[in-house]
Amino acid sequence: MGERKSSCTNCSISVSVFRSVRSRSTINGSGKPATSFNAGATVTMPPVTISKVAVLLATYNGEKFLDEQLASIHTQTYPEIDILVSDDGSTDATKSILRQWRQRWTKGKISIKDGPRQGFSENFRSLLVRTPGSYTAYCFADQDDIWLPHKIERALSMLDAAAPGPALYGSRTRLVDERGTPIGLSPLFTRPKSFENALVQSMAGGNTMMLNPQAFALLAESSHRASFVTHDWWAYMLVTGAGGTAIYDPEPSLLYRQHAANIVGKNSGVIATFRRLGGVMSGQFRDWASANIAALETCEDMLSPQALSTLMRWKQVHEARPPVGLRALRQAGVYRQNVRGNIMLYLAALMGWL
């Protein structure tokens, strides 16, 4: 997903951390000041002054598919797009390809900055910290996919129809192999999209996601305070935790390329289930849960009272000794999107693996 260098270490980016206060205003979709969007603190953000969409692209040694990825963004039906790139120290032709596209980009501009060189999550976090808050919407992009032509316009229309406040769009994907040949679809998620679900999985890949300005303000402020496991999972947790809207589109928005260098690839089927189970048994998921809980506690002033209560109960699950965790999980109301995932979740709670 995104670049091809995995790490979840703490970022060395130096930023000033401010605590939001209740008297500050946020911004609604029209660019005018608005009241708080949850019962906690609000987040300051500049007014939306341009109709451009910002695409946040993290790269690392992506020369093989990057040109095709950029071409698919350039052929979007939406006319105004800036691409903000953070390159994490590529040693191949990635930067050369980016510079060539910068010279012929006609939808706006392409800016290229050096990343923190601490893995793909920290590279995306550096983009969230450094991106101006004046765009009409924000997308994440990987370096090896193919966006379908109406991806941005469709996401914008669905965000525009959402309730006031922070909103996040994500979609299903069409899976393709290295040559671009279709090989299937990502799982279809039909259960409600909520904070209770977000605590244990992301609703969609980051490469499909779009944030409205209020959601981006949350993500940007939180990125000053804490690291995260992955940017997409964190976006889903934070937006729903703040009482915002998570929109899941069952129609694929892009061709999601599956290849050996993928950090996160196909997320369905028996093999993927056994891979997740192995991660749970090895303690990987428990480590992720610890990191997520710590990050959410750092941003607890952004969370709604309901989310804070759910987080407290989820922490009890995390800290419980087996088999007490099973009862605590039921009380927390946390769930995954399919039956197989929930069976695995309850087994993990029973064994003390959460």
Indicate the pLDDT class of residue 280, thresholds 50, 70 and 90.
Answer: low
61-78: pLDDT as tens digits? 999 999 999 999 999 999
Are 178 and 325 in the same domain?
A: no
Task: For residue 303, give every residue at least 6 positions away whose Cβ sits within 8 Å of its Cβ, in sequence order, or none.
Answer: 38, 40, 241, 242, 296, 311
Are 80 and 135 in the same domain?
A: yes
145-170: pLDDT as tens digits? 999 999 999 999 999 999 999 999 99
Highest mean pLDDT among 17-31, 43-57, 197-211: 197-211
The pLDDT value given to residue 39: 41
Element (H, E) at 141: strand 137-141
Mean pLDDT for 125-140 is 97
Tokens of 158: 């669905």
Are 249 and 318 in the same domain?
A: no
Q: Are 59 and 131 in contact (CB under 8 A)?
A: no
Which residues are registered as beta bridge partners of 58?
86
Element (H, E) at 296: helix 284-298
Domain that holds residue 183: 32-257
Are 70 and 199 in the same domain?
A: yes
Are 234 and 276 in the same domain?
A: no
DSSP 246-291: EEEESS--EEEE--TT-SS----HHHHHHHHHHHHHTTHHHHHHHH
- The reply to whether 194 falls in a domain is yes
Are 196 and 220 in the same domain?
A: yes
233-273: pLDDT as tens digits? 999 999 999 999 999 999 999 999 997 765 454 455 555 55
Are 249 and 287 in the same domain?
A: no
Tell me the pTM.
Answer: 0.85
282-335: pLDDT as tens digits? 778 899 999 999 999 999 999 999 999 999 999 999 999 888 899 999 999 999
Tokens of 234: 């964190």
- The reply to whether 287 falls in a domain is yes
Q: Kindly tell me if the per-residue pLDDT of 5 is higher than 60.
A: no
Q: Kindly tell me if the per-residue pLDDT of 8 is higher than 50.
A: no
The pLDDT value given to residue 227: 96
Are 124 and 215 in the same domain?
A: yes
- Counted domains in the chain: 2
CATH label of the domain that carries residue 96: 3.90.550.10
Tell the residue number behind the tokens 């390159």, with chain if given: 87
Are 152 and 245 in the same domain?
A: yes
Highest mean pLDDT among 40-44, 223-227, 265-269: 223-227
Are 229 and 317 in the same domain?
A: no
Q: Kindly tell me if the per-residue pLDDT of 6 is higher than 70.
A: no
Tell the residue number behind the tokens 């937006």, with chain if given: 239
The pLDDT value given to residue 260: 72
- The reply to whether 191 falls in a domain is yes
- The reply to whether 53 falls in a domain is yes
Task: For residue 329, give every residue at least 6 positions away whose Cβ sits within 8 Å of its Cβ, in sequence order, or none.
Answer: 317, 345, 346, 349, 354
Q: Are 158 and 209 in contact (CB under 8 A)?
A: no
Of the candidates 156, 89, 157, 154, the one whose C-alpha atom is nearest the C-alpha of residue 126 is 89
CA pair distance 147, 78, nearest whole angstrom: 12
